């Protein structure tokens, strides 16, 4: 066991000792499947895995799997030699494939991790489940709602595990916050805000001597392979909205445009969608990739507080405001600032909203607590060994994907898109 692994295990064990998190894990049963107890139950067994598409995300999964005791990467497949070589260097001894169908014939592979571009998820997942493999497929689940549904049905028919890459479901601060939101502690949810702002062209470098690789490498920018910001970014925020409210939106309107990066791409660089839940609550998703000031946000607005999930903070509506001087002294006492300029508005007195907030997960350990990605991999390994589908995890991922596809349909077709009965599972 390497150092990171020991730290991660210690971290999970420590979390297990936080009463609130134990209760949260009980409320969201998929989390049980990555606890030390669940991992101990699979002891002595190994999940033999094949990775299809070890590009940027796939390589991260490989790094995490190398830290997981009961994971063994036995096969790698990529049709881009440079990426296959990078992965092979991390896992010497793994069998190498350039044809994913051949990897699926490999009897030593129990489960596959599919981290290829969006348009391939459906075909690869269906074939893998039919070949008797357990499947972890990256988000978004597939290119159309119908494909997502077929993947779900295929998982049901074959009885093989299917997990979609929604790592926030395994992030301890999200689990704690969602438990409290769902308990009604902050009053009813009145609005959900998701956004992702970046300032960059979203392009990957194409080798100068191989310009023909443009579409292979920059698949995100072309409609044949991707549905742009909605499938590549929005799934996480939209899944949080259904998780927090316990409801599915019934409709969405949206607009999207190419505002800045007019470089031959086919997907928008600016989108804005409004989803409406049956009780009238709105959930927005907005993304722009030519201004990053607002960053990435997932806020649950309740009657009594706003919960900033990635920021690990709860902002009360009726916080007791103290003077700016009081804030300053407290901040220096807590070591938040070693010194503070007596200018600017960051600690301005009583500006009528809570700027400081309460921390959600008090003793998060910097550098160890991640975003849930390694716990998601641990869950997949445990599930491959036990053959048991973790509860609710696929359904959450499925609806996250259905919603981002509905949003993109609304943008493209310039109409209100309603949740169809056929998509309800
Ligand atoms: N969960 C998350 O937070 C998260 C983050 C990033 C990416 N992703 C998802 O992961 C997936 C991959 O994204 P990425 O950024 O790693 O892309 P990438 O382009 O870096 O990697 C994709 C890999 O698939 C390979 N590939 C393409 N066609 C193939 C084929 N026919 N057979 C075998 N290999 C093939 C490519 O050569 C490449 O190595 C996407 O679905 C993306 O949305 C998820």
367 exposure class (CB count in 10 Å sphere: 0-12, 13-18, 19+)? exposed
Condensed to tens digits (0 to 9), the pLDDT of residues 208-226 reads 999 999 999 999 999 999 9
The fraction of the chain above a pLDDT of 90, given in percent, is 75
pLDDT at 263: 96
On the CB side of 411, CA atoms within 13 Å amount to 26
Condensed to tens digits (0 to 9), the pLDDT of residues 196-207 reads 999 999 999 999
CA distances from 104 to 57, 129, 284 (A): 20, 9, 40
Closest approach atom of ligand 1 to CA 217: 19
150 alpha carbon – ligand 1 mean position (Å): 21
56 alpha carbon – ligand 1 mean position (Å): 7
114 alpha carbon – ligand 1 mean position (Å): 8
Confidence check: pLDDT of 344 > 70: no
300 alpha carbon – ligand 1 mean position (Å): 30
Ligand 1 pocket, CB under 6 A: 52-58, 77-80, 83, 100, 115-118, 120, 138-139, 165, 167, 232
256 alpha carbon – ligand 1 mean position (Å): 24
52 alpha carbon – ligand 1 mean position (Å): 9
Q: Write the residue with the smallest CA distance to atom 18 of ligand 1.
A: 55
pLDDT at 392: 94
Condensed to tens digits (0 to 9), the pLDDT of residues 387-414 reads 999 999 999 999 999 999 999 999 999 9
Give the domains, in start order, of the chain with CATH numbers: 3-169+370-391 (3.40.50.720), 190-368+402-423 (3.30.360.10)
| pTM, to two decimals | 0.90
pLDDT at 41: 80
Q: Encoding tokens for residue 160?
A: 């093989």
* Residue to mutate (ligand 1; options 54, 56, 114, 233; most atoms within 8 A of CB): 56
Strand arrangement, sheet containing 134-137: 95-97, 71-77, 47-52, 111-114, 134-137, 162-164
Strand duo 305-308 + 296-302: pairing: antiparallel
Q: Is the distance from CB of 286 to CB of 272 less than 8 angstroms?
A: yes
Q: What is the mean pLDDT of residues 317-336?
A: 68
Q: Write the residue with the smallest CA distance to atom 15 of ligand 1.
A: 56
Condensed to tens digits (0 to 9), the pLDDT of residues 235-287 reads 999 999 999 999 999 999 999 999 999 999 999 999 999 999 999 999 999 99
- Give dist(CA 404, CA 145) in Å, integer: 10
Q: Write the residue with the smallest CA distance to atom 21 of ligand 1.
A: 55
């Amino acid at each position: 066991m390497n150092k990171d692994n020991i730290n991660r295990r210690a971290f999970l064990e420590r979390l297990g000792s936080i009463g609130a998190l134990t209760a949260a894990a009980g409320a969201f049963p998929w989390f049980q499947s990555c606890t030390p107890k669940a991992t101990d139950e699979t002891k002595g067994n190994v999940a033999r895995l094949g990775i299809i598409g070890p590009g940027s995300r796939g390589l991260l999964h490989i790094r995490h799997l190398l830290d997981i005791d009961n994971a063994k990467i036995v096969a790698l497949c990529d049709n881009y030699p440079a990426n296959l070589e990078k992965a092979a260097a991390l896992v010497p001894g793994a069998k190498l494939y350039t044809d994913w169908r051949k990897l699926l014939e490999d009897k030593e592979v129990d489960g596959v991790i599919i981290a290829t571009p969006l348009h391939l998820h459906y075909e690869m997942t269906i074939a893998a489940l039919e070949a008797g493999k357990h499947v972890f497929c990256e988000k978004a689940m597939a290119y159309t709602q119908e494909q997502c549904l077929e993947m779900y049905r295929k998982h049901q028919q074959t009885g093989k595990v299917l997990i979609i890459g929604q790592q926030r479901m395994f992030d301890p601060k999200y689990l704690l916050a969602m438990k409290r939101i769902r308990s009604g502690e902050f009053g009813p949810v009145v609005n959900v805000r998701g956004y992702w702002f970046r300032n960059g062209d979203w392009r990957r470098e194409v080798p100068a001597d191989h310009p023909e690789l443009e579409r292979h490498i920059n698949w995100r920018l072309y409609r044949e392979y991707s549905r742009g910001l909605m499938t590549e970014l929005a799934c996480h925020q939209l899944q949080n909205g259904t998780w927090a409210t316990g409801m599915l939106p019934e409709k969405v309107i949206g607009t999207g445009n190419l505002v800045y990066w007019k470089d031959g791409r086919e997907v928008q660089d600016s989108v804005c969608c409004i989803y409406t839940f049956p009780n009238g609550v709105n959930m927005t998703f907005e993304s722009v990739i030519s201004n990053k000031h607002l960053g990435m946000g997932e806020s649950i607005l309740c009657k009594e507080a706003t919960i900033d999930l990635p920021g690990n903070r709860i902002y009360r509506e009726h916080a007791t405001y103290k003077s700016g001087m009081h804030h300053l002294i407290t901040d220096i006492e807590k070591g938040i600032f070693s010194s503070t300029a007596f200018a600017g508005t960051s600690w301005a007195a009583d500006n009528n909203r809570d700027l400081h907030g309460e921390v959600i997960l008090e003793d998060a350990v910097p550098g160890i607590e991640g975003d849930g990605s390694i716990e998601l991999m641990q869950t997949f390994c445990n599930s491959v060994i036990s053959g048991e589908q973790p509860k609710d995890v696929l359904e959450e991922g499925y609806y996250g994907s259905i919603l981002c596809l509905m949003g993109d349909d609304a943008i493209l077709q310039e109409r209100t898109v309603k949740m169809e009965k056929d998509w309800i599972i």
